[in-house]
Amino acid sequence: MNFSRIAEIERFAQALIKGAAMGLYLTPKPGLVDLADCGSHPDLTMAKMERSLHILADYLEEMIRSLADNEHFICRALIGRKAEEVMFKVLGTNSHKGYIFLSGLLINARWHAGSHDESAMEKAVVAAAAQYFTAQGEADATNGRSARLRYGTGGIVREAQRGLPSLFTCGVPAYLDAIGRTGSFSIACFHTLSRLMQTVEDTTTLHRGGAMGLARIRRDGLRLEQVIAENGDHISFLEDLNFEYSRLNLTMGGVADMLSLTLGYLTACGLLTGERDRSRHHGLRSIGRCAAGR
C-alpha cells in the first residue's frame, strides 16, 4: 500500500471540505444559506449545513478507503448513494447532494491523475464521469433530471462529462485574476461567484424559477461583476438580491457547489492566497475569462 499517495489524497479531501465550508460561510449569497440567513431555503439552517459538512467528510474518507483498497468503481458509486441517504435521514434534506457527486468525482480524478495538473485532472474527470454514467446511469426521479429534460440543458451531467469546465475554465481563473488584482480573498470570492452565476447550467435554478429564473441569475451575475469592477457597494447589492431571491423562491445550488469546489481545489493546490503561490502548481494553465452563456 502506497501510504504517501493515500496521505496526498487525504489532504486533497480535507481541502475540498474546507472549500465547502468557505463557500458556506461566504456572506451574503443570494438565495443561499449563509451567516445572515437561510436565503430561499426555509428547510435549512446554518447548524444543519455544518452537520452536513461532517457527513461529507465521512463520505470522502470512505471514498479514499475504497480507492486505496482498489475496489470496483461501482462500489464508490454506491458509497455516494449511501451518503445521500444518510444526509437525508439525518437532516431531512439533501443539503450537499450536488457536492457529494462533484467532490467524489474530483477525488477519483485526483487519485488517477496522480497530481493537481489541470489537463490530467480534466481527462480523469471525463473518464470517471463516463464510468459512472455507464455503470450507474442517472437517478430515476430527481429535480435536476426533470429540469434537464424539460429545458434541454446538460446541468451537472454535462458538466461532469466535459471535465468540469465551470471549475477549470471559469472558477479557478476568475479567482486568480481577482486575487491577483485586489489581494482580497473576499472580493476574489464574490468575483468568482459573479462569473459562475453567468455560466453554470444551474438546474436548481431552473427547477425553482424556470428559464426566466436562470436568465435573471445570469444578468445579476454580470451586474455583480460590474459593481465589483467599479468599486461599488457589492455587499448591499448582494443583500438586495437575497431579499428578492427569497421573495421569488429562487436559488442557485449548482453555482454554490461550483464556488465551493473552486475554493477547495485552490486550497489543495496552495493557490488560495494568489499569484505568489502559483509556482507550487506548475500544471495550472493561464486561462482567460470564461464566456458567459457558453
Does 281 score more than 70 pLDDT?
A: no
pLDDT at position 139 is: 52
| pLDDT tens, residue by residue, 187-245 | 999 999 999 999 999 999 999 999 999 999 999 999 999 999 999 999 999 999 999 99
Contacts for 196 with CB less than 8 Å, ≥ 6 apart:
166, 170, 171, 174, 221, 255, 258, 259, 262
Q: Give the integer Cα–Cα distance in Å for 53 and 37.
A: 18
Confirm whether 288 is domain-assigned: no
Decide: 20 and 232 in contact? Cβ < 8 Å.
no
pLDDT at position 209 is: 93
Whole-angstrom CA distances from 229 to 130, 258, 262, 283 are: 39, 22, 21, 29
Cβ count near 232 (within 10 Å): 13
Decide: 12 and 5 in contact? Cβ < 8 Å.
no
| pLDDT tens, residue by residue, 34-79 | 999 999 999 999 999 999 999 999 999 999 999 999 998 889 999 9
| Residue 73 CA to its chain's centroid (Å) | 22
Q: For 33, which DSSP code?
A: -
When the pLDDT of each residue in the chain is averaged and rounded to a whole number, the result is 90
Question: Between helices 143-151 and 203-229, what is the axis angle to 10°?
Answer: 80
Q: The cell 443539503 sits on which residue? A: 95
Confirm whether 10 is domain-assigned: yes
Confirm whether 82 is domain-assigned: yes
Confirm whether 271 is domain-assigned: yes
Q: Is the pTM of this model over 0.85?
A: yes
Decide: 57 and 98 in contact? Cβ < 8 Å.
no
Confirm whether 294 is domain-assigned: no
- The CATH number linked to 24 is 1.10.4200
Does 151 score more than 70 pLDDT?
A: no
Confirm whether 285 is domain-assigned: no
| Cα dihedral sign, 73-144-94-9 | positive
Q: Give the integer Cα–Cα distance in Å for 220 and 214.
A: 10
Decide: 220 and 241 in contact? Cβ < 8 Å.
yes
Confirm whether 289 is domain-assigned: no
Domain that holds residue 80: 3-140+150-280
Structurally, the chain folds into a number of domains equal to 1
Residue range 12-23: mean pLDDT, rounded: 98
Rg (CA), the chain: 18
Amino acid (1-letter code) at residue 149: L
Of 78 and 287, which is predicted with more confidence?
A: 78
Confirm whether 270 is domain-assigned: yes
